[in-house]
Structure 1
Amino acid sequence: MESFEDLDVYRLADNLGDQVWDIASSWPHFPQNSLGYQLVKSVDSIAANIAEGFGGFHFAENKQFARISRDSLYEARHWLRRAYRRSLLKEAEIKNLQKLLDELAPRLNAYIRSIGREEIRMTNDQ
């Protein structure tokens, strides 16, 4: 891989961030500046941490940033539930976003595991 942009897990997270932005940016001022801010921040953090970890110099650093991405994914689940309970998301929107999160979570876990395998392979090749 030449770039984090080549990673399927990054592209999926980036797409999720764009979808959440499109929805939250249409909310009224107060929910947008409170819950919307937290939701967008947590969702954008998923892709951002994948990118930041990819640029690191050590496997452990990359893995740590990928774990932070996973933490942000679970934070995003919380904010999505909160937005739905406060009638900011339509049922179709929450189902679509939850589906994307459900698809992203195992891919992110697989990416984290792959970083560990790459570390072992590189160590054995030395």
Structure 2
Amino acid sequence: MNKANFEYLQIFQLAEKLADMIWDIVINWNSFEKDTIGKQFTPAVDSIGANIAEGNGRYNLQDNLRFIKIARGSLYKTRY
């Protein structure tokens, strides 16, 4: 199967690498850390790439930009 257009974007590739790195770290945490920080951290980092992909699947520029802004918000959430 061919790659979707967004999969060639460097920002999407970086988002995927970041998500993989975070999952590798969180998987080794103890139960308390996973159930507190991990339950917010991993969905936030996963949603960066997911929102880039979803925005790319929209048919107009405004929808695409809205999802890109959501992805940026998720990135900032992971920094917190």
Instruction: Note whether the superposition's TM-score is higher than 0.5.
Output: yes
Partner of 2:43: 41
Task: Describe how 1:70-109 pairs up with structure 2 within 5 A.
Answer: 70-78=72-80
The offset of 1:55, in angstroms, is 0.5
Equivalenced residues, count: 77
What is the aligned-residue identity percentage? 43
Q: Deviations over 1:27-68 (max 9, x none)?
A: 001111210121111111111100000000111000000000
Partner of 2:59: 57
Mapped to 1, the partners of 2:36 and 2:27 lie a distance apart of: 12
In our comparison, the structure showing a higher alpha carbon Rg is 1
TM-score (norm 2): 0.92
The alignment yields a C-alpha RMSD, in angstroms, of 0.8
Partner of 2:12: 10
Q: Flag structure 2 segments of 5+ consecutive residues without an equivalent.
A: none
Mapped to 2, the partners of 1:26 and 1:37 lie a distance apart of: 14
- Runs of 4+ in structure 1 deviating by more than 6 angstroms, as ranges, are none
Partner of 1:69: 71
The offset of 1:76, in angstroms, is 0.4
Name the amino acid aligned to 1:6: Y
Q: Deviations over 1:72-92 (max 9, x none)?
A: 0110001xxxxxxxxxxxxxx
